[in-house]
A and B are shown apart, each in its own frame.
Chain A
Amino acid sequence: MKKYITLSLVLLAINASAQWTQEKGKGYYKIGAWFLEANEHYTDTGLVDPNITRGHFITSFFGRVGLTNKLTLIGYLPYTQVYQNGQRFSSGLPSLPGESFASLGDIDLAVEYQLWEKKGWAFSTSLILGLPTGDDAGGSDGSYQTGDGEFNQSLQFNLGKSFPIGKQNFYFKSNISINQRSKGYSDEWHFGLETGTKIAKDKLLLLGRFNTRQSLQNGSLSAVNNNGSIFANNVEITNLGGEIIYGFSKVWSINFTGSFPISGKVIYKAPALAVGIALEL
């Protein structure tokens, strides 16, 4: 689950600037904070069950640099905190304290290559590598994971189009990817849509997103052969979201992101919120 969170975040960030690759020598850098707190989760049947409140808080650095006009290098470096609330009992039993665990999360590295761009259309592909730099057994019971301990590779294709509606310019993006996972985890496919437009003299970018992640159910990992830490296997999620990016100077911008789940399996059911400040040079 933590891996999902990490990966989703980087994909979200990558998608936000995908298709139109970075110009050679130019870069986009962002420091962000991502937050999710949930007291219910989707079970393996897709139904919703309650749980003691758990939270994930990720502070991260994201950067993309144009190596050439067609090739962009992307990196995502998270520092992840996982916590669980304490428990106070109505019966008068002594309270149980909460717990928190933090460490470096799973780092993602990616390259994006522009395959084609013409008449407002752009088509590119990305290779994303998920490095197992996080802790897959953190906390007192090993469930405070900041990574899933597996190396994964995701191949993604991105298609984008800019177009006007009246005097207003819009863009549309889509992406589809296959994420190959190791250590018995099921592979996954991802699909995303995004559209947006600038307003307020192009200082404010409003965009909406749809993302889904589905398991291929081909992994061997389960509670039978795993030591209980199986959050990240067979995770499925579909969510809707949006982002507001305000450019308060020519190079600086601040963004607010929200993502809201509409279905899922073996994952928390709660909105994820993010804020970041970005520099584009």
Chain B
Amino acid sequence: MKNASLIIVCFLLLLSCVGEDLVNDYVDPDLRISNAILSIPEGVQYQFTARFFDESGTKVENPTLVWLVDPPTALSIAQDGTIQAIAAGEATVIVQTTGLRGDIIEARTTFSVTAVTSTDTSTSTSETSTMTADSETSTLTTDTETSTMTTETETSTMTTDTETSTMTTDTETSTMTTETETSTMTTDTETSTMTTETETSTTTIDNNTGTGIVLAPQFYEGEIISTSSYILEGNFRYEHNGTQITLSLDENYRASTSLPGLYLYLGNNPNTVNGAIEIAKVNVFNGAHEYILPPSIELADYKYLIYWCKPFSVPVGEGTIF
């Protein structure tokens, strides 16, 4: 009896302790350019920014970055990421940093440096308009500060020699405003056709700076995949509307209703929610639905959607945003 009791006590002591699990959560470090563009006019400046996430997916504050351009004839670049567009053509900006293991980690973005094509005044109410220049190079003097023109938003080809000229685009009809009374505008051909494609446009003009820079698309699309034996699938769209991000799940989304305690997170490490941000408890298991994210979340902040089972503390699915 005494021995038996002793055995039981030893058994209890041996087995009732809370231990510790080792979680292999390593991810490749990720350096990302957070404000990519599609094009920039010659002569215009733009500052790129980059964010570095280490092997745990944690954002590194103030990383040491090295900025490069290719080819050097297309751009000049300062070490704060500011470029100066020099010559028309394709250009690549490269940013590099050093990882914890001493390896070089880099990110690239390629875009167009565009030449200006414009005319003194051209106003159009149709989707297609023809702009004619009297000569290949013309000097334009504007009596008024505002002239009207039509711009093809994806491939705007207006260039200006003056840094102070600004162009703003609304939709089909845009308004060009020059802050100097005289600017020089060059067209590649004497006659060019400009077409407005607002219905299918996937780019935006940088209205804040009005420099004619075409920003990269402000949305990503992807697919949710199950990383477990539970059913979890569907397509998603992750879009910034200028104010905040909307995560929209497609009609083909479905998740197992047997998933206990399923939550959605945004994170930079799909292996853990340590450091991730909790979006919501999942209450929809079939069909289209959406989440409106807090305005503080920017498009390049998080790389993964993480579907997480809280009771088992395991990821059950993920979607790679970019």
Contacts and interface: CB of A to CB of B under 8 A. Distances in A.
B4 A85 contact: no
A86 interface: yes
Contact of B15 (A41, A57, A91, A96): A57
A45 B258 CA distance: 9
Contacts of B54: 91
B313 A90 contact: no
B18 A100 contact: yes
Interface in A92-136: 92-96, 98-100
A277 interface: yes
Interface string A129-153: 0000000000001110000000000
Interface stretch (B19-27, B176-184, B205-213): B19-27
Interface in B224-256: 228-231, 256
A33 B11 contact: yes
Nearest to B3: A248
Interface stretch (A3-11, A14-22, A62-70, A228-236): A228-236
Given A141-B310, A143-B311, A252-B4, A88 B20 contact: yes
Interface stretch (A46-54, A159-167, A188-196, A202-210): A46-54
B259 interface: yes
A263 interface: no
Given A52-B312, A222-B257, A248-B1, A83 B18 contact: yes
A146 to B, nearest CB: 14
Nearest to B9: A33
B228 A49 contact: yes
A93 B19 CA distance: 18
B63 interface: no
Interface in B251-275: 256-262, 269, 272, 274-275
Given A90-B25, A91-B27, A93-B58, A252 B1 contact: yes
Contact of B230 (A44, A48, A248, A249): A44
A277 B8 CA distance: 8
Contacts of B256: 44, 223
A43 B22 contact: no
CB-based closest 6 A-B pairs: A91-B56, A44-B258, A143-B311, A51-B312, A228-B261, A52-B313
B5 interface: yes
B289 interface: no
Contacts of A92: 55-56
Contacts of B20: 85-88, 95, 98
B258 A93 contact: no
A236 to B, nearest CB: 11
Nearest to B260: A230
10 contacts: A35-B15, A51-B312, A53-B21, A59-B12, A87-B313, A92-B56, A141-B311, A143-B260, A228-B311, A234-B258
B322 interface: no
Contacts of A142: 261
Contacts of B283: 224
A71 interface: no
Contact of B272 (A83, A93, A99): A93
Contacts of B23: 52, 87-90
B216 interface: no
B314 A51 contact: yes
Contacts of B282: 223
A239 interface: no
A71 B52 CA distance: 73
Contacts of B11: 33, 35, 275
